[in-house]
Amino acid sequence: MKNILQREIPEELEGIGKLEAFEGAFSKLKKGWMEEKTVPPPNKAKMPHSSKICDTLRDAILKTKPRDGMTVSFHHHLRGGDNLVYEAIKILADLGIKDITLAASSLTTAHDPILPYFKDGTITQVYASGIRGELGKAIAEGVLPKPFVIHSHGGRVRSVHTGKIKIDLAILAASAADEEGNATGAHGPSAFGSMGYAAIDSWYAKQVIVVTDNIVDYPCVPQSITQNYIDYVVKVDSIGDPSKIAGGTTRITKAPMDLQIARLAAQVIEHSGELKEGFSFQVGAGGASLAVAKYIRKIMKHRSIKGSFILGGVTSYGVDMLNEGLFRSIFDVQSFDAAVSSSLLENQYHIEIPAGLYANPFNCGCMTNKLDIVVLGALEIDTNFNVNVITGSEGYVRGASGGHSDTASGANLTVVVCPSFRGRIPIVKKKVHTIVTPGESIDVLVTERGICVNPQKSELKANLESAGIKVKDIEVLAEEVEGITGKAKPIETTERVVGIVEYRDGTVIDVIHQVKE
């Protein structure tokens, strides 16, 4: 079958089941009350005054009675510094457990060491928002017997709620925890900030282990995760390297072209009609996106505009804007910078939120639904404004869906910032390799070679033009780019579907075919 974006979707995939084709960003919501069944969180029971403390992670895992075919989940708040996924999977592999579904909120290059377990049958399926590095290459080449699933941050919560992901065991790193499993990422030697992605796992997993390098006196405060969901607590020497949480993507770029794009994007935002008293704001962490905040900050100061909230992955830059009084609050699902932790700990208007509150489309109002302006990046964007943030120019998985489609669909103004090409690789083009976010959610594209407004947004175009901002037709831009880079060499793939890209509502927006080695 073809979905509404003309992507060919199989009716059914072994290892996943029947697929539902993407019909538009709000097709399922517009049907009103959800008919999709949700699943119940587990009942558990524990005798009073019994201890949850285990000596080692291996002991804790053994107590959960691991079995073949189980689903194990992790959060990725330690980002590039995470070591726990590897440690835990190694234990399971050493115990001889096979056919594991790995349900991590995201996977980074820090997880390259688990590749051998993709190859030996320990892990046979992956659900994640993002996959990168060696894993992303191997997975695109078809290393796993079952199709992997890429979900958005909000979509992951929906998947757990609806039982598409059934977590048997959640293993959750915390930078501080007490003997009962009350836990936080906001303080301790390995502080990493918000634990937003871990909340849903703690609520729904049949069993939950909290792993920390820092047991504190009872009670641990604040309590990002609360004891009534935690089965076991383990003290380890190290949960990872918090210095690697902030990668290059979470600092403001110094690259002249990115800064130029960011400056243009800030102009677009200034004249969009959305930059007004009480507006809310999110910027992605990559390249030009974060730099946009720098220019918006100037404009806000100059025009004495005070915003309502900053949302999302939170950087020190966002915290500075909160402290300057430019925004009333921050909602923090993920801290892109360990330095953010102290603000999270001390400022009651820096609010930690679970991923469901951040972006799950099926509730009474996630934060992304209240967002006014979001600035996002792209690996590729097509002339219908469909965005790829998951596969690179060789067809390998090297990015993350993250909050891209969540915020794009919710925000009043969605700005995509990216260069029009990189090296000899076109970024603005007729057709992207993989669609993650549908063009209907993108309002405007800002590149170094011009600004393109989605034809559906005539008011925005008028606003920009009346401010003297030149708008270019995206077809024209794509042709210009092709003129420079030449036609992109098509990525050679087989018929085999190795992964699907789930839209946040659970429909399939695209599939990923096996890349020929």
> Taking the complex as a whole, how short is the minimal distance between the CB of residue 154 and its own copies, in angstroms?
11
> Taking the complex as a whole, how short is the minimal distance between the CB of residue 259 and its own copies, in angstroms?
31
Token pair of 490, please? 């098509």
Q: Exposed, middle or buried by CB within 10 Å (0-12, 13-18, 19+), for 34?
A: middle
**Cβ distance 276 to 250 under 8 Å?**
no
> Taking the complex as a whole, how short is the minimal distance between the CB of residue 187 and its own copies, in angstroms?
11
Sole binder of its own copies in the list 409, 414, 447, 507 (CB under 8 A):
409
Q: Closest Cα to residue 192, out of 88, 52, 75?
A: 75
DSSP 351-389: EE--HHHHH-SSSS--GGGG--EEEE--SEEETT--EE-
Q: Closest Cα to residue 206, out of 231, 174, 243, 169?
A: 169
Of residues 64 and 124, the one with the C-beta less far from its own copies: 64
- Residues 246 and 241: their CA atoms lie apart, in Å, by 10
- Indicate the DSSP class of residue 81: G
* Whole-Å CA distances, 43 to 74, 182, 225, 354: 21, 18, 17, 21
Sole binder of its own copies in the list 37, 254, 302, 470 (CB under 8 A):
37
Q: Closest Cα to residue 162, out of 24, 390, 364, 356?
A: 356
Can residue 325 be called a binding residue for its own copies (CB under 8 A)? Answer: no
Can residue 480 be called a binding residue for its own copies (CB under 8 A)? Answer: no
**Cβ distance 358 to 406 under 8 Å?**
yes
Sole binder of its own copies in the list 197, 309, 336, 385 (CB under 8 A):
309
What one-letter code names the amino acid at 474?
A: I
Can residue 218 be called a binding residue for its own copies (CB under 8 A)? Answer: yes
Sole binder of its own copies in the list 58, 99, 115, 162 (CB under 8 A):
162
Can residue 48 be called a binding residue for its own copies (CB under 8 A)? Answer: yes
Helix/strand/coil for 395 = coil
Can residue 391 be called a binding residue for its own copies (CB under 8 A)? Answer: no
Residues 119-158: x/- map of binding to its own copies (CB under 8 A)?
---------------------------------------x
Asked whether the bond before 242 is cis by omega within 30 degrees of 0, the reply is: no
Of residues 178 and 270, the one with the C-beta less far from its own copies: 178
Residues 347-386: x/- map of binding to its own copies (CB under 8 A)?
-xx-x-x--xx--xxxxxxxxxxxx---------------
Can residue 226 be called a binding residue for its own copies (CB under 8 A)? Answer: yes
Q: In 202-356, which ranges are E strands?
A: 207-212, 232-235, 281-283, 307-314, 327-335, 350-352
> Taking the complex as a whole, how short is the minimal distance between the CB of residue 249 and its own copies, in angstroms?
27
Can residue 341 be called a binding residue for its own copies (CB under 8 A)? Answer: no
Task: Tell me how far apart the terminal alpha carbons of the chain are, to the nearest angstrom.
Answer: 27
Q: Tokens 């083009």 appear where?
A: 429
Can residue 166 be called a binding residue for its own copies (CB under 8 A)? Answer: no
Of residues 365 and 483, the one with the C-beta less far from its own copies: 365
Sole binder of its own copies in the list 56, 228, 243, 323 (CB under 8 A):
228
Can residue 44 be called a binding residue for its own copies (CB under 8 A)? Answer: yes
Token pair of 271, please? 């004249």
- 225 forms beta bridges with 183
Sole binder of its own copies in the list 161, 164, 429, 504 (CB under 8 A):
161
Sole binder of its own copies in the list 308, 463, 485, 493 (CB under 8 A):
308
* Whole-Å CA distances, 215 to 45, 179, 237, 344: 24, 7, 11, 19
Can residue 276 be called a binding residue for its own copies (CB under 8 A)? Answer: no
> Taking the complex as a whole, how short is the minimal distance between the CB of residue 228 and its own copies, in angstroms?
4
| The length of the chain, given as a count of residues | 517
Residues 175-194: x/- map of binding to its own copies (CB under 8 A)?
-----xx-------------
Can residue 46 be called a binding residue for its own copies (CB under 8 A)? Answer: yes
Sole binder of its own copies in the list 9, 21, 52, 266 (CB under 8 A):
52
Bridge-based pairing of strands 307-314 and 327-335 is parallel
- 21 forms beta bridges with 508
Q: Which stretch binds its own copies (CB under 8 A): 40-48, 66-74, 465-473, 474-482?
A: 40-48
Can residue 217 be called a binding residue for its own copies (CB under 8 A)? Answer: yes
* Whole-Å CA distances, 369 to 309, 358, 405, 413: 13, 9, 11, 12
Of residues 307 and 392, the one with the C-beta less far from its own copies: 307
Sole binder of its own copies in the list 143, 230, 261, 338 (CB under 8 A):
230
Can residue 279 be called a binding residue for its own copies (CB under 8 A)? Answer: no
Q: In 147-267, which ranges are E strands?
A: 148-150, 169-174, 176-177, 183-184, 207-212, 232-235
Sole binder of its own copies in the list 410, 419, 438, 439 (CB under 8 A):
410
- Indicate the DSSP class of residue 240: B
Can residue 419 be called a binding residue for its own copies (CB under 8 A)? Answer: no
Site for its own copies, rule CB under 8 A: 26, 28-34, 36-49, 52, 158, 161-162, 180-181, 208, 217-219, 221-223, 226-231, 278, 308-309, 328-329, 331, 348-349, 351, 353, 356-357, 360-371, 409-412
